[in-house]
Structure formats: structure tokens, C-alpha cells
Amino acid sequence: MRNRPLEGQSALVTGANSGIGEAVARCFAGAGAKVVINYISRPEAADAIVEDIKRGGNEAIALSADVSNEDEVKAMYGAMFKRYGTIDILCANAGIQLDSPLVDMTLAKWNTVLAVNLTGQFLCAREAAREFIRRGVRPEISAAAGKIICMSSVHQDIPWAGHANYAASKGGIHMLMQTIAQELAPHKVRVNAIAPGAIQTPINRAAWATPDALSRLLTLIPDQRIGQPVDIGRAAVWLASDDSDYVQGTTLFVDGGMTLYPGFATGG
Ligand code: BGC
């Protein structure tokens, strides 16, 4: 892999002011991309990441938008194009959990999770695809007209009691990703997903914050360690770069083996 495989490209990472999104944004910047740090809350965290990226000699801006709001998504893209001219890479990462047993789940909890996690990816992918198709390939920049990386989860495959809204959103992302990959491939746009396992971020703090919780979590992870955000950032750089030019419509599981049915290591 070239040292700065994303040099000269501009990237949008949604939900980039913490956790996995932050790591993807930092890795993209380190790989040479100009990065838009999208956020919805805590602007100071987004600004601090931008400053840090700039101190490292790279380029970033922070833009606020609720990814489930069509007007805000369009305005964000407008601001990005004004600043960087175009988009080469979208990492549709913004996601939330609002957990509840099914019988207690309010419609509001269902709708909010589906709106952010699934509709948000649709809205952001649609705006990116419009620009990729309008602009086409610039061979000196990338072999592709554009790259979309959908942040999914092991829960696109693994059922998860108490998280029906979240698991349904991730199952939806899987089919959204494959369908738009098929649809956009003739335009030289690549669409893929990353399915992280348990990555140590605020979203799953309860699963790793105490030694007890962590040791229970590790029974689900053959590699015997919780993932770090940079594990996902590195995978995203590869999927965004021309090193993966023939990779289309696939999901890259980055999960320390969580999807290998760890219970069967000793049973069955
Ligand atoms: C969830 C985390 C969870 C992990 C593995 C992720 O998609 O957001 O809360 O720890 O899947 O179960």
C-alpha cells in the first residue's frame, strides 16, 4: 500500500466526533484525505479533532448535520462542495442505540434508531452518488468515481435480544449496501461495508467498563481482546483506497472472530 493512498481526495465521515467515526476520520486524514468531520452534538469535540488533524499537517473541517434530516444533509454536502469542490469518499458511520425489550419498545425508539442508522445512510449515500455520477472518474485521483463505506455491525447477522431496532437497522444496511453496490458499479462507484464487532467506544461502555462485564464480553470474542477504533479506521482506509479496487458490495467483518460462533469452540 502506498504511504498516503488517499492523497488528493476528499472524504465525509458522519458521526465523526467520537468512537469509530473519529478513528476513521483520523486514519483518512493520515492517509492524505481532506476530511469533513460531521457531528450533531458536542461541537467542541469535532473542533478539537479538526485542530489535531491540522496540527498533524493534514486538512479537515467540522460540519454539523442530523443525517436523518434531508435538508440538513443537503446543506452539509453544499458546504463540503464549497470548501473541497467535490467528494471522493463517504463513510456513512453515524449510528445510535436506544435499547429496549421488544414489549416495552416505544415507536419513538424504533423510529429514531431506524431514522439515524438506516435512513441516514440512504440520504448520505444518495447525495454522494449524485456527485460521483455527475463528476465521473478522475484517473489521476482514483480508479473509482467514488467510494461509499457503510458502517454496519456484526448484528447485521447476529440476532440481538433487547436491541430489535438496532439489529433491524443493521440488517437493513446490509441490503441497502448490496443493492446500491449493484446499481452504482456501472458508474465506477464502489460500495462496501464494515461490520465491527465489540469496539471500545462510548456506545457500548456498559459492556467493558467493569472487569466483570469485560470478562463476559471476552467469552464472545475468540481473539480475546476488545477491538479498538483504529482497527476499524485501518480497514476503512483500505476499502477507500485503490488497493481494494476490485472489492465491490462486500462486508468486511472486523470483529476478532465474534461471528465464528465462539460457543462451539468447546461445545456442540
Ligand atoms: C454495538 C455494540 C456491541 C457490538 C457487539 C455493535 O454494533 O453497537 O454495542 O458491543 O456491536 O455486540
CATH of the domain at 53: 3.40.50.720
Inform me whether the pLDDT recorded for 88 exceeds 90. yes
What is the reported pTM?
A: 0.98
Asked whether the predicted pLDDT for residue 16 surpasses 90, the reply is yes
Of 39, 84, 166, 246, catalytic: 166
165 lines ligand 1 (CB under 6 A): no
Is the minimum distance from the CB of 204 to ligand 1 under 6 angstroms? yes
Q: Classify residue 100: in a domain, yes or no.
A: yes
Domain residue limits at 113 = 10-255
Q: How many domains does the chain have?
A: 1
Beta carbon of 26 within 6 Å of any ligand 1 atom: no
- Ligand 1 atom with minimal separation from the 153 CA: 7
pLDDT (tens digit per residue) in 216-236: 999 999 999 999 999 999 999
Q: Of all protein residues, whose CA lies closest to atom 7 belonging to ligand 1? A: 153
> Is 3 a domain residue?
no
Please tell me the predicted confidence (pLDDT) of residue 2.
76
In a domain, 106, yes or no: yes
Assess whether pLDDT exceeds 70 at residue 166: yes
- pLDDT of res. 42: 98
Is residue 125 pLDDT above 70, yes or no? yes
Q: What is the 3-state secondary structure (H, E, C) of the chain?
A: CCCCCCCCCEEEECCCCCHHHHHHHHHHHHCCCEEEEEECCCHHHHHHHHHHHHHCCCCEEEEECCCCCHHHHHHHHHHHHHHHCCCCEEEECCCCCCCECHHHCCHHHHHHHHHHHHHHHHHHHHHHHHHHHHHCCCCCCCCCCEEEEEECCHHHCCCCCCEHHHHHHHHHHHHHHHHHHHHHHHHCEEEEEEEECCECCHHHHHHHCCHHHHHHHHCCCCCCCCECHHHHHHHHHHHHCHHHCCCCCCEEEECCCCCCCHHHHCCC
The pLDDT value given to residue 1: 65
Q: Please report, as a single letter, which amino acid is at residue 226.
A: I
Q: Is 80 exceeded by the pLDDT of residue 58? A: yes
| Interval between CA 207 and ligand 1 midpoint (Å) | 9
Tell whether ligand 1 has an atom less than 6 A from the beta carbon of residue 217.
Answer: no
Q: Is residue 262 part of a domain?
A: no
Is 203 near ligand 1, meaning CB less than 6 Å away? yes
What percent of the chain lies above the pLDDT cut of 70?
100
Using a 6 Å cutoff on CB, does residue 15 contact ligand 1?
no
What ligand 1 atom has the least distance to the C-alpha of 95? Answer: 8
User: 4 in a domain, yes or no?
Assistant: no
pLDDT at 267: 87
Q: Which atom of ligand 1 is nearest to the CA of 158?
A: 12
Checking if the pLDDT of 25 tops 90, the result is: yes
Candidate from 1-10, 43-52, 114-123, 153-162 with smallest mean pLDDT = 1-10
In-domain check, residue 265: no
CA dist., res. 20 & res. 76, Å (int):
20
On whether the CB atoms of residues 127 and 47 are closer than 8 A, the answer is: no
Atom 2 of ligand 1: nearest residue by CA position: 204
How high is the pLDDT of residue 246?
A: 98
Asked about 39 being catalytic, the answer comes back as no
**41 within a domain of the structure (yes/no):** yes
At residue 56, the pLDDT reads: 98
Looking at the domain assignment, is residue 267 inside a domain?
Answer: no
Q: Is residue 130's pLDDT more than 90? A: yes
